[in-house]
Structure 1
Amino acid sequence: MGYEWLAIAMFVGFFLILMSGYPVAFSFAGTAIVFGGIGLAVGAFDLNRLLLLPNVWFGTMSNFTLLAIPFFVFLGAVFEKSGLAEELLETIGILMGPLRGGMALAVVVVGTLLAATTGVVAATVIMMGMLSLPVMLRYGYDKRLATGIIVAAGTLAQLIPPSLVLVVLSDQIGVSVGDLFLGALIPGLMLAGSYALYVLVVALLKPETAPALPLEVRRMDGKVLAAKVVKAVLPPLLLIFAVLGSIFFGIATPTEAGAVGAVGACVLAALNRRLNWNLLRDSAHATATVTSLVVIILFCSAFFSVVFDGLGGKTLITNLLLSLPGGYITFMIVSNIAIFLLGVFLEFVEICFIAMPLFVPAAQQLGIDMVWFGVIMAINLQTAFISPPVGFSLFYLQSVAPKEIKTIEIHKSAIPFMILQVIVLIIVISFPQTVRWLVDLSFQS
């Protein structure tokens, strides 16, 4: 086996340090320094390999695709901090209020729209938890249905373009982020549709768990409501179409579209007289925080990867995955289980930099379509994000839920939506055209 045992020990050591709560970037770098030193001492690591790092780091900083991250984060931050997202939820809630389960359906619609604008799960779940959960509870919604739909719909930002997950994945698996956006759109809408269908079925079978809003709550003059729709709903829809449409129709790259979206969000805030220095400062701060986190993890993970590869780790993992009995099918089962388990405990950025470099070489050698593979991994990550006992979205909602909502109720509420996500995942795996159709259509045009 040679010195490959060092690579195995390196990965296990890294994971143990990470589980202790140590920051992921420093876990990457610290483990690389320790095991690089050990490998150098026993003659298992060539110090000249570190000369690759400057090329990797400068290549990262000049990567035009990754420049989309700060633009999309800024777009979402302006939209959320300006109160535009709050007005959107309120207006759609009034529109759907007459329906049984209407408020829950409004959460699905708004979650889908916010996913296509903010792309930030935490902000979406917390905002909808603060605004819609008290309303649903006040008017008789079942606690599990109310909390579950918020957790599930808020997590759509993991998959629906312009998802940051897809931007980071595109860099790690080596495919166009535009293709990933196209590939993820139909599965993302399938997930949103499955949530809406679940709400309608529950409202039909158990009307008392999802009542319509009382007339006095949703009573509004038709002209006033129409004006509210034009002001609160139409502009975000136009912004989404401008951003995603320009990408899908080949008018702009994702990075260029992100820049347009960031400016568009500022224009909408200005039209609503909410654009001010505090908004710009807070949005810029949120953008700098998220972008810096991604970049420092990327830099440190590159250091880890160079040392891990130098110790023979990547070759060992690739050969192990390729030698699994059952070939392609077993590889897909193993990779999905591994990503799901990692996703229960870790953020998507960490998983992309930890797991993707291990799975991608084997997937490429097996001839797997990488756009399809990337979308499957994104759906899997979204499922893990709402999975008890440590799914991040559960804790986001718990942080703003009323006191009468117990933690165990939030966790149980996610289970039906996990099942729906697994069903959609199986459909996407079984029918690759759910991912490939729009991508192939764009190539033909």
Structure 2
Amino acid sequence: MELFFLLLLLIIMATALGSGYPVAFALPGAAIITITLAALAGWAFAGSPDAYFAQGGPGQWLSAGVTNLRGIYWEVERDTLIAIPLFIFMGIMLQRSKIAEDLLMTMAQLFGPVPGGLGISVVFVGALLAATTGIVGATVVAMGLISLPAMLRNNYSPSLATGTIAASGTLGQIIPPSIVLIILADQLAAAVDQAGTTRKALYKASTGELTMPSPFGVTSTSAGEMFLGALIPGLLLVALYMIYILVTALLFPKKAPAVPNETGLDKVFWQRLALVLVPPLALIFLVLGTILAGIATVNQAGAIGAAGALIMSGYRLKEGQKGAYLPAILALVSIAVIAVVVSNFNTNIKAISTANDQIGIIIALIASAGLIGALVWSAVRAYRTDNTLSDVMIETAKATSLVFIILLGAAMLTAAFRAFGGEELVQHFLEGVPGGFWAKFIVVMAIMFVLGFFLDFIEIAVVVVPIMAPILLADPSANVTAVWLGVMIGLNIQTSFLTPPFGFALFYLRGVAPAVVKTLDMYKGVIGFICLQLSALFIVAQFPQLVNYLPNRVSLLGETAPPPRNPRLQYCVENYIHGRFQEPTGRIVSAQDNLKALDVSYLPANLQKALEESYAATGEARDKLIAAKAVEAREGVAADAFRPLHVLVRGYERDARALDADIERLRVRASRMRSEDQAEARAQLEQRIADEEAERDALLAQIPEDWVPRRDAFKEIVKEQAQLRNEFRRSSSTAYTSVKNLQGVLAGNEDFNAFVPILDGLMASLQGVDSKEGQALIKAAEDAVSRVDGTSKVKSALSKARRGMRRNPPRMDDVETNVAEARRLLAVQGEWRAQVTPEFVAALDEYELAMRDTVGLTQQRRLSREQALFVASCQSGHRDISLNF
């Protein structure tokens, strides 16, 4: 019966959407109706409202709905969606203030003389508008009204012209900042949690281990990372569009002829170009640049974009009038003053300590007031000019409300889908697809592509992604990142704007296109661009570095970059170290030889031993890592032979676990049937249980007999490599820590000489003082000693003296004995410290520097730029970790 109600859920949803019922109400309505019918049927025919639910019942579904509501609206941690109204406001404001129109007209003049130049200008402006507005409807309509007549007037092919405009208008869905990417990031955050739980359960079931190593975890994402990941694929799509138009124009000149610039590229034109192009580019830099540089979060960048759009509208709406640019000039001057103040003054009000700080705060307050005044001034202009501000606010509220209602409705629909076992059904179907992860991925992408013919991008993102994404992310065979999967989905559902019969970009363009342009021409025109989008999808699938590299780079170069010892970075960090070991420089050996040539017999025995241990551990670390890489190569060869058997057996075990879960559900249902009139149904369930148990046993019986020995043999190779890497890490730590400790001891020579007189006069100072004052004097001496490394024994003797002083009455004999012992130890230290030569200190520093980017790398606080770029590149690919499961 669960399958019946699952099918009913899908039929009701499809019928409501197909009949034109608003999607914001079709999604939750289908869930509520189906859940209610299933609960009533269960109560009427099985005596329990939960009888026809695969998971829980109506109560659990309602709880899931409340949880989703809280997650979307009230969880402080999930504030990503706040950026949506900000970016919508920015886009609509720029479109209403006719900045998009200025861009199109100016760029058309610039690119016109090039073959296909008008089309290239449309793509270029589409990319700029995508990075500033991201509103498909507004972009397509604006370009359709302005560019399409000009393209047709200059004998452009109607199909190429309409296809270019429609495709360029959809760039806002993949080029950040994009509402689609924000929604995908929000949906993928929950998907990552589910996938992580699934992968941990898989690891436990496969290996018997209770905890899974953190490097095997699912990599999460955020809206900022999605923006970073989508930037290069978005630019790739722009390049493909431009190349396509240029090649078409060269091969078929009549389809896209060059258009001579009649006015000429004079000084006035270049001034106009700068005035039109620089402000949007500056806004793009402020919005995306602050995110890329880690200065602002996505929400803060959205606020910057909304404020920038308001300032730009303030002068554009008053263009040609006196004082049109005054609000913008005031804003720019205020921002410049704030930047200077922040760079040269302490602007923390709580930390004001000097008159200079007060001056900085006052100037910053004045500049902030100027910026606020510029924003208010621009807002008043936008409000008074054709009621633009009111219209933009109303449109923003409508679009934002629609997005949030759809999100909530989709959460209810997804909860109902899971309640009837739909998620498990999809999972079993995908896991049964031969070909591993990539076969499942292709199936999911194909489903989304087909759904794009009928559904909008929001419906696909909020309905399909929560169901499909956890399954793909949990698969360890590809171990893809959430940001890569999100960008791939974004590229895919971008086609939904172009695919008939419900391609929204086609509808927008049809509404403004002249009658001479046939609908069939528009359909023909977008085919080539759909193929380009699918080509971009294929390229990004083959080269995940296009998505992953930039987020990794920004993360590892940022102020909050993880340290090199982070477990997720270990593999790539060790690859870097191995590469340095392969360089024939011999820097560490040379530094060792220089240090060994010096006389160190005056050093204490423990420090001499530490040096010798460092020499030995450095060589051992190098040997262990080289050996580990050799075993890794051997493991790769063994993995190729072992993988087919591993896939086969794990498939049997996965199907057996699915049967076990189904058997458990059937047993629960059978246990609820206690009345005599349900005896026949109970017997049927028990027979099904017996049949599935037999099927499970038959599956497990198909496991080859050589499975265990071959698995154990492969595990031995994996274990050998892991052991060598652990030994390398221990040796590295010993080698580098010993040297750093010795450097720390020597670095305290100046402080050491400073507290020698304190200790010499300590006993005299203790004569005639009471117990409390004496303890304070000894404690002060302890604190002075503790500032120098290597003086722990001296401090210990002083601690014993302080304990003697604590007695009542003080035991002055014990105090004097321990103070004398402290002075003796101090004298011994002073003797060898005085023999330390500058040559030894320099040689030791040289040795530490030579070790720093190899055996000492994991002991550093953060990676250098060179190391961070290497690790970012190394982590940008996808590694198959399935053989560890």
Q: For the superposition of Structure 1 and Structure 2, which TM-score range results when normalised by the shorter chain? A: over 0.9
- The Cα offsets for residues 288-311 of structure 1, whole Å up to 9 and x where unpaired, read as 111000111112222222222222
For residue 76 of structure 1, what is the amino acid of its counterpart?
Answer: G
Matched, 1:280 2:291: no
Matched, 1:190 2:236: yes
1:137 matched residue in structure 2: 152
1:87 matched residue in structure 2: 102
1:433 matched residue in structure 2: 545
Residue of 290, 294, 299 corresponding to 1:250: 294
2:310 matched residue in structure 1: 266
Matched, 1:20 2:129: no
Q: Is the 8 A contact 2:454 2:501 kept in 1?
A: no
State the distance in 2 between where 1:306 and 1:195 align.
40
For residue 311 of structure 2, what is the amino acid of its counterpart?
Answer: V
Q: Is the 8 A contact 1:324 1:330 kept in 2?
A: yes
State the distance in 2 between where 1:300 and 1:375 align.
24
2:141 matched residue in structure 1: 126
For residue 21 of structure 2, what is the amino acid of its counterpart?
Answer: Y
Secondary structure in 2 aligned to 1:10? Answer: helix
**Superposed, which structure 2 residues align to 1:196-207 within 5 Å?**
196-207=242-253
Residue of 443, 447, 457 corresponding to 1:338: 447
Matched, 1:219 2:331: no
Q: Is the 8 A contact 2:181 2:490 kept in 1?
A: yes
**Superposed, which structure 2 residues align to 1:1-20 within 5 Å?**
3-20=2-19
Q: Is the 8 A contact 1:85 1:114 kept in 2?
A: yes
- Residue 179 (structure 1) shift: 1.0
Q: Is the 8 A contact 1:8 1:313 kept in 2?
A: no
Structure with max Cα Rg: 2
Q: Is the 8 A contact 1:101 1:203 kept in 2?
A: yes
Going from structure 1 to structure 2, the CA distance change for 1:389 and 1:14 (only over 3 Å counts) comes to closer
State the distance in 2 between where 1:19 and 1:34 align.
17
- The Cα offsets for residues 43-75 of structure 1, whole Å up to 9 and x where unpaired, read as 234232113333321221133100110000000
1:305 matched residue in structure 2: 414
Q: Is the 8 A contact 1:39 1:311 kept in 2?
A: no
Please say which of residues 137-146 and 183-192 is displaced more in the overlay: 137-146
1:410 matched residue in structure 2: 522
- Residue 273 (structure 1) shift: 4.2
Going from structure 1 to structure 2, the CA distance change for 1:315 and 1:100 (only over 3 Å counts) comes to same
2:495 matched residue in structure 1: 383
- The Cα offsets for residues 263-317 of structure 1, whole Å up to 9 and x where unpaired, read as 0011111133444211111111111111000111112222222222222222222
1:241 matched residue in structure 2: 285
State the distance in 2 between where 1:310 and 1:206 align.
56
- Residue 334 (structure 1) shift: 0.8
State the distance in 2 between where 1:319 and 1:171 align.
25
Secondary structure in 2 aligned to 1:98? Answer: coil
Q: Is the 8 A contact 1:137 1:146 kept in 2?
A: yes
Q: Is the 8 A contact 1:67 1:255 kept in 2?
A: yes
Secondary structure in 2 aligned to 1:22? Answer: coil
Please say which of residues 351-360 and 306-315 is displaced more in the overlay: 306-315
State the distance in 2 between where 1:8 and 1:327 align.
27
State the distance in 2 between where 1:142 and 1:315 align.
49
1:58 matched residue in structure 2: 70
State the distance in 1 between where 2:442 and 2:246 align.
32
State the distance in 2 between where 1:373 and 1:52 align.
25
- The Cα offsets for residues 376-412 of structure 1, whole Å up to 9 and x where unpaired, read as 1111111232123432211211111111101101110
2:849 matched residue in structure 1: none
Q: Is the 8 A contact 2:455 2:496 kept in 1?
A: no
Q: Is the 8 A contact 2:176 2:288 kept in 1?
A: yes
- Residue 78 (structure 1) shift: 0.6
- The Cα offsets for residues 326-377 of structure 1, whole Å up to 9 and x where unpaired, read as 2212111111111111111111111112111110221122133221111111
State the distance in 1 between where 2:532 and 2:439 align.
23
For residue 20 of structure 1, what is the amino acid of its counterpart?
Answer: S
Gaps of at least 5 residues in structure 2 are 43-50, 190-220, 319-380, 558-885
State the distance in 2 between where 1:289 and 1:53 align.
23
State the distance in 2 between where 1:130 and 1:296 align.
31
How many residue pairs match? The answer is 442
State the distance in 2 between where 1:20 and 1:402 align.
29
Q: TM-score, normalised by structure 1?
A: 0.96
Q: Is the 8 A contact 2:84 2:179 kept in 1?
A: yes
State the distance in 1 between where 2:317 and 2:136 align.
26
Secondary structure in 2 aligned to 1:106? Answer: helix
Residue of 465, 469, 480 corresponding to 1:356: 465
For residue 119 of structure 2, what is the amino acid of its counterpart?
Answer: A
For residue 403 of structure 1, what is the amino acid of its counterpart?
Answer: A
2:613 matched residue in structure 1: none
Q: Is the 8 A contact 2:98 2:316 kept in 1?
A: no
- Residue 223 (structure 1) shift: 2.0
- The Cα offsets for residues 2-33 of structure 1, whole Å up to 9 and x where unpaired, read as 62442233123322322222111221222112
State the distance in 2 between where 1:111 and 1:118 align.
10
State the distance in 2 between where 1:276 and 1:3 align.
56
For residue 228 of structure 2, what is the amino acid of its counterpart?
Answer: L
Q: Is the 8 A contact 1:4 1:316 kept in 2?
A: no
Q: Is the 8 A contact 1:318 1:361 kept in 2?
A: no
1:323 matched residue in structure 2: 432
State the distance in 2 between where 1:397 and 1:81 align.
18
**Superposed, which structure 2 residues align to 1:156-167 within 5 Å?**
156-167=171-182
1:399 matched residue in structure 2: 511
For residue 241 of structure 2, what is the amino acid of its counterpart?
Answer: Y
State the distance in 2 between where 1:69 and 1:228 align.
32
State the distance in 2 between where 1:171 and 1:47 align.
26
Residue of 286, 289, 292 corresponding to 2:398: 289
State the distance in 2 between where 1:227 and 1:35 align.
63
- Residue 219 (structure 1) shift: 2.8
State the distance in 2 between where 1:433 and 1:214 align.
41
1:77 matched residue in structure 2: 92
State the distance in 1 between where 2:293 and 2:422 align.
41
State the distance in 2 between where 1:207 and 1:307 align.
55
Secondary structure in 1 aligned to 2:512? Answer: coil
State the distance in 1 between where 2:472 and 2:304 align.
35
State the distance in 1 between where 2:261 and 2:13 align.
57
Please say which of residues 317-326 and 61-70 is displaced more in the overlay: 317-326
RMSD between aligned alpha carbons?
Answer: 1.5
Please say which of residues 261-270 and 55-64 is displaced more in the overlay: 55-64
- Choose between structure 1 and 2 for higher RCO, CA contacts under 8 A separated by at least 6 residues: 1
- Residue 34 (structure 1) shift: 1.6
1:419 matched residue in structure 2: 531
For residue 29 of structure 1, what is the amino acid of its counterpart?
Answer: P
For residue 16 of structure 2, what is the amino acid of its counterpart?
Answer: I
For residue 59 of structure 2, what is the amino acid of its counterpart?
Answer: N
Identity among equivalent pairs (%): 43
State the distance in 2 between where 1:358 and 1:387 align.
23
Q: Is the 8 A contact 1:389 1:411 kept in 2?
A: no
